[in-house]
Amino acid sequence: MEASLSVKLVTSQIFNNYAVGVGALIAGVGGFKLLIDWGSNFVEQVRRRRLEIELRGKYLPNRGGYELIASSSNPDWIYLHDKKTNRKHHIASNATFLALGYDRSMVKHIGKQVFDSIGDGDEFLTRGEKYS
C-alpha cells in the first residue's frame, strides 16, 4: 500500500513539475511579447518626438512658407500646405495640431478643386491617435 502511495506521489510531483515548466514557458513567451511591444512603442514615441521637433522648427505658427488649409467638402480634416513644395500634409490628430501651436482661426477653407490640385505629402502624426 505504501508503494502505490509513493508512486502516486511521484506521479503527482512529475505532473506538477511539468505544469510549472509549461506555465513558465508560456509566461516567458508573454513577457517576451510585452518586451517587443514596449520596444516598438518606445521607438514610435522617439520617432514622433523627433518629427514634432522638426515640424516646430520648420512650420512655426505665423511664419511664412505654409498655410493651414481644409477642403470645403471635408472641413474637419486640416492640412498643412507647404507652398515651397506645393504639397499638402494631413495633420492626423487634434493633439498634433495643438502640439504644433496652431489654432482653428489659422485654417483657410478652400474649394474642392483647388484643394485637389495640391499634391499629397506625408501625414503628420506626433501625438494622439489618427482620425478615422
The confidence score (pLDDT) of residue 132 equals 53
Q: Are 61 and 17 in contact (CB under 8 A)?
A: no
State the sign of the Cα–Cα–Cα–Cα dihedral 98, 102, 105, 106: negative
CA–CA gap between residue 91 and residue 79 (Å, rounded): 5
| Residue for grid cell 514596449 | 38
pLDDT < 50: residue spans in the chain:
none
| Residue for grid cell 506645393 | 86
With residue 110 as reference, give the H or E element that holds it. strand 107-110
Name the pTM for this structure: 0.66
Residues with Cβ within 8 Å of residue 101, at least 6 apart in sequence:
56, 60, 61
**Among residues 36, 86, 60, which one has the least CA distance to residue 28?**
36
Distance of alpha carbon 86 from its chain centroid, rounded?
26
The confidence score (pLDDT) of residue 4 equals 58
Give the other-Cβ count within 10 Å of 85's Cβ: 13
The confidence score (pLDDT) of residue 45 equals 85
